[in-house]
Amino acid sequence: MCYKLSTMSSKLAINSIYMATEGEGIHIGTPQIFVRFQGCNIGCINCDSKDTWEFTDPEMSFDSAISKVEELAGEYPMRVKRVSITGGDPLHPKHVPAVTAIARELKKRGYFINLEAAGTRIVHEIFDVIDFISFDFKTPSTGVRTNTKLLVKLWEQYKNKAQIKAVVASRHDYEAALDAYKTVSEQTEHQFDIPWVITPCYEPGDELPKTLAQSIVELNHSYGAPFRVILQQHKVIYTADFGDF
């Protein structure tokens, strides 16, 4: 499918553009600029950014979005040249033209581009351009399902620039991720080697899930430690109620 964006006239549905430190996954602790798109129809029950679900009228121009990224990057003595495109769902068809255009322009300007993918689709127009893909595996507590065939395709085509992330709220969630891991491993003749990160669920209003994290670590060890267990750093530091990260 071909997506086009007239960068001179189009408006983009962007919730916010801000500087923060990556709080999840294998790049945890890395400063980067987040470009958060507005609009998502996936509906994860334990989503921590439900304010980004509604599809609103696009208001930010393409040039304004690029300028904001450049402005934030320039505020630091050592320019921050990493951008994370997130949402919402940046891979929703409504967003694909804008995400593709922004990724291409920022790549021209020397930025490393990470994309937070919800795990519901692979979009080659975007994945071929960006530097890194954070691909979700949806556990039962989310109320959404990830097709393991997508994980196999991710491994076949993008294994050198991807990670898989799964939010785990219970033993049932962990075992669902483990079953998916085993399935994908078998389908790739046990060569599947994309880093897979398990994140203990930490929702707004909750206390730090220390007991849950400990139980997941122990469970992971008991199964041979197939996953990396990493808490969301920003929530540990600021609590789950703080806001944008």
pLDDT in the model for residue 2: 45
Residue 5 lies in a domain: no
Residue 46 lies in a domain: yes
pLDDT in the model for residue 130: 98
Residue 90 lies in a domain: yes
Is residue 78 over pLDDT 90? no
Among 26-30, 60-64, 231-235, the minimum mean pLDDT is found in: 231-235
Is residue 244 over pLDDT 80? no
Q: What is the pLDDT of residues 82-132, one digit of tens each?
A: 999 999 999 999 999 999 999 999 999 999 999 999 999 999 999 999 999
Q: Could you give the CA distance from residue 56 to residue 14 in angstroms, rounded to a whole number?
A: 9
Residue 79 lies in a domain: yes
Total domains, the chain: 1
Please, where are the H alpha helices in 114-170? 124-127, 148-158
138-146: average pLDDT:
96
Residue 243 lies in a domain: no
Residue 105 lies in a domain: yes
Residue 2 lies in a domain: no
Contact 240, 212 (CB under 8 A): no
Among 56-60, 161-165, 168-172, 232-236, the minimum mean pLDDT is found in: 232-236
220-244: average pLDDT:
84
Is residue 194 over pLDDT 70? yes
DSSP state of 54: S
Confidence category of residue 197, pLDDT binned at 50, 70, 90: very high
pLDDT in the model for residue 95: 96
pLDDT in the model for residue 1: 45
Q: Could you give the CA distance from residue 174 to residue 165 in angstroms, rounded to a whole number?
A: 12
Residue (of 187, 170, 175) closest to 226 by Cα position: 175
Average pLDDT, the chain: 92
Residue 6 lies in a domain: no
- Domain extent, residue 31, equals 11-238
219-230: average pLDDT:
97
Q: What is the dihedral of CA 43, 118, 168, 25, to 10 degrees?
A: -140
| Residue 81 CB contacts under 8 Å (≥ 6 apart), including other chains | 73, 110, 111, 112
Strand-pair category, 228-229 with 196-200: parallel
14-43: average pLDDT:
95
CATH, residue 96: 3.20.20.70
Structure tokens at 122: 């692979």
Among 30-39, 129-138, 202-211, the minimum mean pLDDT is found in: 202-211
